[in-house]
A and B are shown apart, each in its own frame.
Chain A
Amino acid sequence: MPNTLELQQIASQVRRDIVRMVHAVQSGHPGGSLGCADYLTALYFQLMDHNPANFTQEAKNEDVFILSNGHISPVFYSVLARSGYFPVSELATFRKINTRLQGHPTTHDGLPGVRIASGSLGQGLSVGVGVALAKKLDKDDHIVYVNMGDGELQEGQNWEAIMYAGSHGLNNIIASVDYNKQQIDGSVLEIMGFHELRNKFEAFNWLVLEMNGNDMQDILDTNAKAKTMRNQNKPIVILMNTEMGAGVDFMMGSHEWHGIAPNDQQLAAALAQLPETQGDY
């Protein structure tokens, strides 16, 4: 099990993968991907009990991760490949014709590690609810992790799922909200803000934790705490304060890098800030 420093090093490589993948096809979503790189690295390299070498859709006796905000596929693909679901070399096919690494994740082409298509926003938490119900039926005490974007919470289906999970005390769900406060057209607060997100989840009978989603030690500590709270028989959500574009200085601090690709000079500048720790694909 990698220690905190080693996880940080893996996350650096994941960030290199993200900017290189997006640069290669001049399309994709680097901002949110970079912001979630630390959390997904922690999930796939330490927090989750999972079996990359023998992937099954059913995930019996495994933790499950559902990516609801599918547009951050670059970070998802990178951690899947780096943790052993498919060859790292396949990252070079991202968004190219005949690839399994579609612009948004899909089960359609048999990519190991993906259990649901996502991209049209707001659907992942419902899917997580279903997996959580199945695990309860099967007396499987593993956890269902679901990551959502903050802008994504504007989709009404999320609140149906939040209401259901809270009403039925699904304590095997640990959701996370990538709370970077940015969306395509600008800041979440300006577009349709939540004002106070913690109170909203608590009102729906959820337990709420907050963490700095770009601080590896805080990620590990908060998730350890989340697991100890499961005996309260409520679903858990972690409000993950992140910086869109985290790790690449010129991509941080605005919504502008939500969905655009770096040019050659910008790629070089980004890579200069991100040590190659695991070997580029």
Chain B
Amino acid sequence: MQALEILGNNDTRSGFGAGLLEAGKQNSQVVALCADLTGSLKMDAFKKEFPERFFQMGIAEANMIGAAAGLATAGKIPFTGTFANFSTGRVYDQIRQSIAYSGKNVKICASHAGVTLGEDGATHQILEDLGMMKMLPHMVVINPCDYNQTKAATIAIAKYEGPCYLRFGRPKVPIFTAPDQVFEIGKAVTIYEGTDVSIFCTGHLVWKSVQAAQALAERGISAEVINIHTIKPLDEKAVLDSVRKTRCVVTAEEHMYNGGLGDSICQLLARNFPLPVEMVGVNDSFGESGTPDELMAKYKLDTVDVIAAVEKVISRK
């Protein structure tokens, strides 16, 4: 098994900022709205380049979501930016009625998702957002894994017509996907092919899963690692093709079991091809203050947890 080349270290939110600037250059209809977190969301470059197309909405997220729906009605392609918690739970009904049900071409862009938000604690760490967003009919839900993929995903959703939820994070993490990648919404990316277990992972857990697969290879376990950057629509064919070969599954995500990637995979398998599944995720718990690394360890979202899940699921085959 080949180690992946680490191209650098950066936060996925910076990938969003770079992608937003590029999307803005590609299409003059792209506009951006932010609820008083421009620096945190890395939207400064867009704001500087396109000041007339940037709207500072203040600490008023419900109005921001509604205004984005209005801008989309008039033909703009609005990107809203705030923390994942304030992008979803705080404004669920606004998204539901004014964006999803109304079919508006709004891109809800959500930073600081999960426990890796860190020291601010559970009031700001949302672990339920993927579930809330994927339950909305026709909402596209994307959770890319590194800087390059987040940038590519941002550019891709600008070209897609319809509501999207784009989730990314705060901490600097390894960059290991290609800088010039074309992001295909709904198309899973196989990182390692393997025969003993399928690891379906998303967001920050993709790198953890890559590291786990490398450690498992040294023990003679062949893990297939598939990056499910698009939670919805789920690449069902990629999942089913993989599990027909490996016959057991680990899912890994920085999210609650309920509503997350693991939940989607289990539904798919239960209906089509029931198999043993182990889930790496958070089980019905809020987060807390701490460093991102400490929290990933405490909430069992680390490389060792993926390895343990693989060993357990293989024993259940």
Interface positions of A (Cβ within 8 A of B): 57-60, 66, 106-108, 115-120, 122-135, 137-138, 156-157, 160-161, 163-164, 167
- Among candidates A108, A127, A138, residue contacting B70 with C-beta atoms closer than 8 Å: A127
Q: Which of B53, B74, B93: most chain A Cβ within 10 A?
A: B74
Given A108-B101, A137-B52, are A131 and B66 neighbors across the interface (CB < 8 Å)? no
B 255-289 contacts with A by CB, 8 A: none
Flag if B69 contacts A116 (CB, 8 Å): yes
Given A108-B101, A163-B60, are A157 and B94 neighbors across the interface (CB < 8 Å)? yes
- 5 chain-A/chain-B pairs, Cβ below 8 angstroms: A57-B73, A106-B102, A116-B73, A116-B102, A129-B63
Given A58-B74, A120-B93, A157-B62, are A130 and B67 neighbors across the interface (CB < 8 Å)? yes
Q: Does B72 contact A (CB under 8 A)?
A: yes
Interface positions of B (Cβ within 8 A of A): 31, 52-53, 55, 57-58, 60, 62-76, 78, 93-94, 96-98, 101-103
- Among candidates B70, B76, B101, residue contacting A132 with C-beta atoms closer than 8 Å: B70
Flag if A123 contacts B70 (CB, 8 Å): no
From residue A280, how far is it (CB to closest CB) to chain B in Å? Answer: 31
Given A120-B97, A164-B63, are A130 and B70 neighbors across the interface (CB < 8 Å)? yes
Known: A130-B72, A134-B76. 8 other contacts (CB 8 A): A108-B102, A116-B73, A117-B102, A120-B97, A123-B93, A160-B58, A160-B63, A164-B60
Task: Note all chain A residues with C-beta closer than 8 A to B78.
Answer: 130
- Distance in angstroms between the alpha carbons of A60 and B101 in the assembled complex: 23
Closest chain A residue to B96, Cβ basis: A120
- Distance in angstroms between the alpha carbons of A90 and B123 in the assembled complex: 49
Closest chain B residue to A115, Cβ basis: B73
Task: Note all chain B residues with C-beta closer than 8 A to A106.
Answer: 101-102
- Distance in angstroms between the alpha carbons of A125 and B62 in the assembled complex: 11
Flag if B74 contacts A156 (CB, 8 Å): no
- Distance in angstroms between the alpha carbons of A75 and B242 in the assembled complex: 55
Flag if A130 contacts B52 (CB, 8 Å): no
- Distance in angstroms between the alpha carbons of A108 and B69 in the assembled complex: 14
From residue A114, how far is it (CB to closest CB) to chain B in Å? Answer: 9
Closest chain A residue to B137, Cβ basis: A108
Flag if B60 contacts A107 (CB, 8 Å): no
Given A58-B74, A126-B98, are A156 and B93 neighbors across the interface (CB < 8 Å)? no
Task: Note all chain A residues with C-beta closer than 8 A to B74.
Answer: 58-60, 130-131, 134-135, 138
- Distance in angstroms between the alpha carbons of A66 and B97 in the assembled complex: 14
Task: Note all chain A residues with C-beta closer than 8 A to B73.
Answer: 57-59, 115-116, 127, 130-131, 134
Flag if B67 contacts A164 (CB, 8 Å): yes
From residue A130, how far is it (CB to closest CB) to chain B in Å? Answer: 2
From residue B71, how far is it (CB to closest CB) to chain A in Å? Answer: 4
- Among candidates B57, B67, B101, residue contacting A127 with C-beta atoms closer than 8 Å: B67
- Distance in angstroms between the alpha carbons of A138 and B71 in the assembled complex: 11
- Distance in angstroms between the alpha carbons of A257 and B278 in the assembled complex: 56
Flag if B67 contacts A133 (CB, 8 Å): yes
Task: Note all chain B residues with C-beta closer than 8 A to A59.
Answer: 73-74
Q: Which of A107, A138, A160: most chain B Cβ within 10 A?
A: A160
- Distance in angstroms between the alpha carbons of A161 and B68 in the assembled complex: 12
- Distance in angstroms between the alpha carbons of A239 and B149 in the assembled complex: 51
Task: Note all chain A residues with C-beta closer than 8 A to B70.
Answer: 66, 116, 126-134
Flag if B68 contacts A130 (CB, 8 Å): yes
Task: Note all chain A residues with C-beta closer than 8 A to B31.
Answer: 137
- Distance in angstroms between the alpha carbons of A130 and B67 in the assembled complex: 4
Task: Note all chain A residues with C-beta closer than 8 A to B67.
Answer: 126-127, 129-130, 133, 161, 164
- Distance in angstroms between the alpha carbons of A129 and B103 in the assembled complex: 18
Q: Which of A119, A134, A161: most chain B Cβ within 10 A?
A: A134
- Distance in angstroms between the alpha carbons of A60 and B74 in the assembled complex: 7
From residue B82, how far is it (CB to closest CB) to chain A in Å? Answer: 13
From residue B263, how far is it (CB to closest CB) to chain A in Å? Answer: 26
Q: Which of A126, A130, A160, A163: most chain B Cβ within 10 A?
A: A130
- Distance in angstroms between the alpha carbons of A58 and B69 in the assembled complex: 12
Closest chain B residue to A161, Cβ basis: B63
From residue B312, how far is it (CB to closest CB) to chain A in Å? Answer: 44
Given A133-B55, A160-B62, A164-B63, are A127 and B75 neighbors across the interface (CB < 8 Å)? no
Task: Note all chain B residues with C-beta closer than 8 A to A126.
Answer: 62-67, 69-70, 94, 98
Task: Note all chain A residues with C-beta closer than 8 A to B55.
Answer: 133
From residue A168, how far is it (CB to closest CB) to chain B in Å? Answer: 9
Task: Note all chain A residues with C-beta closer than 8 A to B75.
Answer: 57-58, 60, 134
- Distance in angstroms between the alpha carbons of A57 and B103 in the assembled complex: 11
From residue A65, how far is it (CB to closest CB) to chain B in Å? Answer: 12
- Distance in angstroms between the alpha carbons of A127 and B71 in the assembled complex: 8
Flag if B97 contacts A123 (CB, 8 Å): yes
- Distance in angstroms between the alpha carbons of A163 and B31 in the assembled complex: 21
Flag if A127 contacts B98 (CB, 8 Å): yes
Closest chain B residue to A134, Cβ basis: B74
- Distance in angstroms between the alpha carbons of A118 and B96 in the assembled complex: 11
